[in-house]
Amino acid sequence: MLTVHHLAMSQSERVVWLCEELALDYALVRYEREPNMLAPAAYKALHPAGTAPTITDGAVTLAETGAVFAYILERYGQGRLVVAPDDPAYADYLFWYHFANGSMMPGLFTSLIIHALGGPGGNPLAQGVLMRAEHGFAMLESRLSSVPYLAGGDFTAADITALFALTTMAAFTHRDLTPFPAIMAYVARVQARPAYRQAMAKAEPHG
């Protein structure tokens, strides 16, 4: 059976949400973080990566968000939540789907560390990383000012990959989103989805 191993307050909440959107029959196992915020030994034992998300499905154990999403969408999605290659929105779907994980998340994670170490100071590399993360928010604001969802008119897996950066990760980084009204409206719109609410009630039952 498809099992989502969810590490508390982590990116694996997106996989729970994906399963809820697809109305899959899946099991959820929840793990608390260690005091140092790392995954516990039981989680690290699942896959050599030792990171969330990790899923198991019969003989398969798989980590890494992009791989996990591809596995679930291609194996169980039946064409839902993706955009077909012959659809005019295909390139936008691909871009935003990958931008969330390939650029936003690494940028925000690195920003978190830079601020934890006292800020960029005069370091041009650190300043550049912070500027890139900031530019990501500006890009999202611009995109969401013209379309309701990242791929265009329809909600897709690109929205599931993106939201974490604007909710849980934004909370970790104390990111104020009020200067971005289109992002704020988008977050509210997507968080109102029944599947999102159901996923978060299961993934973070203590709120």
- Distance CA(53)–CA(106), nearest Å, equals 15
Angstrom CA distances, 94 to 14, 83, 132, 151, stand at 17, 8, 20, 8
Least Cβ distance, residue 52 to ligand GSH (angstroms): 4
Q: Which is nearer to ligand GSH, 39 or 144 (CB)?
A: 39
Q: Which is nearer to ligand GSH, 110 or 127 (CB)?
A: 110
Least Cβ distance, residue 88 to ligand GSH (angstroms): 29
Q: Assess contact for 43 and 31: CB atoms under 8 A.
A: yes
Query: 139 in helix, strand or coil?
Result: helix
- Give the full edge-to-edge strand order of the sheet including 60-63: 27-31, 3-7, 54-57, 60-63
CA 136, 140, 143, 145 dihedral sign is negative
Q: Which is nearer to ligand GSH, 7 or 129 (CB)?
A: 7
Least Cβ distance, residue 26 to ligand GSH (angstroms): 18
Q: Which is nearer to ligand GSH, 7 or 130 (CB)?
A: 7
Least Cβ distance, residue 131 to ligand GSH (angstroms): 22
Least Cβ distance, residue 21 to ligand GSH (angstroms): 18
Least Cβ distance, residue 202 to ligand GSH (angstroms): 17
- Distance CA(31)–CA(39), nearest Å, equals 8
Rule CB under 6 A: which residues touch ligand GSH?
7, 10-11, 38-39, 50-53, 64-65, 101
Q: List Cβ neighbours of 150 (8 Å cut-off, separation of 6 or more).
A: 92, 93, 96, 97, 143, 144, 156, 158, 159, 162
Q: Which is nearer to ligand GSH, 89 or 104 (CB)?
A: 104
